[in-house]
Structure 1
Amino acid sequence: MTVILLQVVLLFAIMATGQSLTLVAVPATVQVGLTDSLGVNCSVAAGTDPTMASLVTLTLSFSQDSASPQFQALGTVNSFNGVGNSSDPSDGSVTGLIDNAGVSFLRVSWDTPGSVRTGTYKCDAQGLDQVGVPVSATATTNVTEGIADTTVLTDVLITLKKYVKQLSSELVVLRDQFVALAETWEQRLEARRKSLFEESPAFRGSRYYLSKEDPIVMNALAQASCEEFGGNLAEIGDEEEFEFIKEFIQNYTGFVFVVIGGSQYGEPDNWVYPHNNKSLEYFNWAYGYPRLEMAANCLNMWEWFDWNMTNVECLMDSKSWPMRYICEMLVDA
């Protein structure tokens, strides 16, 4: 009697620790162009199938032909190696987990699925029974292609119109915020420019900005300061432009050097503009210039020589040699 009772208890224990296989596709019908996602989920809940005590592997396969299925594996998950998926990205995104104490699952999903995702899906579960004998279970489900009726299409169009209207309203708000921010930024930039530079009249599509103070004594830093405001160190291209700049800077005092665009780094007597490496085509050298010393690599206009061009060291003591720099910026059309 005791033996029989133990056998009955063991039978109920086997049933309580089993597994059950479920395969679900959401949605079950794909409307091409309207369905935005498809998910096929195979799951096994521990404790619901007396024939499978321990789950080892889940495999999801697909056949577009439901009448004579030829299944192709989409993904797998097992208790040893985790998730494995097809090498073809079009076979979907695969996630999964084996959990013999809870719910094991294998899921394949797609964004905007087309008609090629309609057909038969199959889930194969491989595991062991209570005494270690291999057992298996299979579940299938179908995904069909549906044609949207006019009511569905009308609802979609109404929803889209509402969404477009909402986006348009949000875009107007963002545009107004951007315009306000741009205007504020431009005002601040203009205020900063006025605090740092003296502005020339327009000349052939450009304006020239002479720095008010002389903390910058390096050609590269002067160029960077000009670029901050959308310009470059002045690029003097001919006699007329030279005379215009010369007349402009003579309206101000307190300095003897003005840094302009042009340096000969790397190759002696090859003067180029610092921002584009383009060769200078015009010079108005002061008497005795250019100097041939290796360190005299930066181009300036010098008061002692009637503001004609000189080449000097790029790093000079601004206390002994007060200097400014002059930027050139295009005039807004």
Structure 2
Amino acid sequence: MLDIFSVVKTVAIGQFLLVILLLLFAFGIKMFTYYRAAYLNALKQSIRRLMKHGIEQPADFDLKSIMRYKKHTDILIQMIHQFDVAPVGENWMHLRVTLMDLILIPTARVMAQSRQWYKRYLACLAFQLSSHKIDTNLIVRLINDPVPLVAMNAAIFAVNAYSQEMIDALIDTFSQGRRVQQSLYAQIISSAHSTIIPLVKNRLSREQDPFIKAFCYRTLTYLPSDFDVVTTVDAEIDFNLVTTVYADLNAENVDLKVAVLYYLYHFDPRASGKVLVSHLNDAHWEVRAKSAKLLGELGDALYAFELDKCLKDPEWWVRMNAAEALGALGEEGMLILKNQTPDGDQYAYDAAMRVLLTKN
């Protein structure tokens, strides 16, 4: 029979050795992190010195000295960002163009097709620093990347390119997502300067697919509504867009119709009131619910009577949105809610009570 003390002794020794191994592993990780940080810091300092030398003495700058760092794309991108915001003089712009043309962009084009997502991500960051016209097919491939971080950064570059071709590619790609995703993608596109508005409008005025059109409307709602149209081409686009908007208000596609209502409310809230009222009787309950919600955001007591009728709508969401809208219209709206009784209409009474309880 095995001695119990021998078993305990063996287990104790095993545990002790395991603890020692864990400590050695932790120490090894710490040392690796320390030396890695020191190595990267020395690398950054070396690249920074070479760049400063290229700025201060451009005639003596040896491009080969920095070419050997082309594998460290992340550090080069970081250094370019730092020099862009530093007061380094006109020579920096000449050096920057050289670095982008001969090192960063050629490397980024190769990395954009890598199997490693981090390299594709760095390629997107490099493209964002460049004023080059990058191949649309390459950018579209990155926009469709399965890694969200890569796709988002590729989209940022495409938006800032201010190109109809790029905007069309973005719209084609992003309009395929779900509605929540589309709202996020629309915000990415709208993060660009308002000069992309004519590009989005142009695509909208000639588009036939209802889901792509809905995405275009959502994108426009995130862009400034007071953008001045100054060119003949843009004026023609706006004229065509008016025709498109009124046609889309009568579309059968619910997503498209809701997107148009939000766009009209964003573009001219006051003028959209009559359109919203007319859609309180729409065949689709979602359109009725959104119309009631937007009328409440207008805050005009003029629409209280119409919203009162929506309290009796057979759809719960329409009743609730109408009740919340009335609660936002001030005393007149609150009075309508307080006048609801269970004997008059149980549905209207329940919706009114839910809102009144939140107001107290």
TM (norm. structure 2) is 0.28
Higher helix share: 2
Q: Which has the higher strand share?
A: 1
* Bigger relative contact order, structure 1 or 2 (CA pairs below 8 A, ≥6 apart): 1
Larger Rg: 1
